[in-house]
Structure 1
Amino acid sequence: MEPIIAQARVRDAEAILKLQYLCYQTEAALYEDYTIAPLTQCLTDLLSEYDTHTILVARLGEEIVGSVRGQLREDVCHIGRLIVHPRLQGRGLGTKLLDAMEERFGSATRYELFTGSRSERNLYLYRKLGYVSLREETVSPQLRLVFLEKQGVSNPSKNSFL
């Protein structure tokens, strides 16, 4: 059975949050910091994101096995919290979720996301999908974030006929 990507329902919030906690354990271990935002987010905060973000899920039957969030601000789609259940990682589901979010915000001039500088698998995936480094930001002695961007289809500089 192939996972199906769809808009998250409000009733999915608890399952998304549980999957988020599971998926970010490896990131927390990598940075020796279990207080990272994805692990401290509460259900109320996630529910409030339904008002400001597009939240997509990947379902395998009734089980939520992946998710991603996006928000359009000033023609830039900010993508975050891409998660895939550990048992399904490396099978292209993260790519499908990112593609679905980019498609959802097809009018964006660019897409932006970030990950930790030690998160080699994430960096590999994003670069493979056309994202390039934009800037870095030090959060703590253990954590440096790498922001990456990808030009959108509607970006005038990409559609130049000269």
Structure 2
Amino acid sequence: MGMSVIISAATEQDTEQILKLQYLGYQSEAELYGDWSIEPLTQTLESLRTELAERHVLVARLGDEVVGTVRGWIDADGVGRINRLVVHPRMQHHGLGGRLLRAVEDRLLAQGPVRAFQLATGHRNLGNLRLYTAQGYRQSEVRQAAPGLSLVTLEKPATQPLATAV
């Protein structure tokens, strides 16, 4: 009997699994840029607990296992900021990243008002760039973040969430 992946708000009990998944998921990013000191790899449990209290943190669960996560918040300008989208490597390429992205967008729209969504990724992360483009995001800025690393900012206008079937 197969299990379905369920997306829900993260809880305090999820923090260790989120941090472990984040560490696993950002290994490839660190390797791409030769930088193992990136913040997702050095974040502490206490810092993650603070984010859990201040931002929307969603998880994708397969049974009791956290296999995906994403974070979002609305800034003072009404921009829904999205970051730390991570999907377990064995769960990638099955649409889970897109589902998490839409779920956090819907959560931010429900909090509202949101005029646009914005996220960023490294210029060499072609998989992320493809995913975000497929989800309607368009490049709005490229800036040098460090030697050998340019951050690509992508944005899309906010729209109302689709009605979900009950």
When normalised by structure 2's length, the TM-score is 0.90
The aligned counterpart of 2:102 is: 99
The aligned counterpart of 1:77 is: 80
Aligned residue pair count:
154
Instruction: Give 1:86 deviation, angstroms.
Output: 0.2
Q: Distance in 1 between matches of 2:150 and 2:39?
A: 14
Q: Distance in 1 between matches of 2:119 and 2:57?
A: 15
The aligned counterpart of 1:88 is: 91
The aligned counterpart of 1:159 is: none
Q: CA RMSD in A?
A: 0.9
Match of 1:53 among 52, 55, 64: 55
Instruction: Give 1:51 deviation, angstroms.
Output: 2.2
Matched, 1:141 2:147: yes
Match of 1:7 among 6, 9, 13: 9
Superposed, which structure 2 residues align to 1:119-158 within 5 Å?
119-153=125-159
Which runs of at least 4 in structure 1 moved beyond 4 Å after TM superposition?
A: none
Q: Distance in 1 between matches of 2:148 and 2:41?
A: 16
Q: Distance in 2 between matches of 1:39 and 1:138?
A: 20
When normalised by structure 1's length, the TM-score is 0.93
Q: Which amino acid aligns with 1:36?
A: I
Gaps of 5+ in 1: 155-162
Q: Distance in 2 between matches of 1:144 and 1:72?
A: 24
Q: Distance in 1 between matches of 2:37 and 2:82?
A: 21
Q: Distance in 2 between matches of 1:10 and 1:126?
A: 28
Instruction: Give 1:67 deviation, angstroms.
Output: 0.2
8 Å contact from structure 1 (residues 20, 83) kept in 2: yes
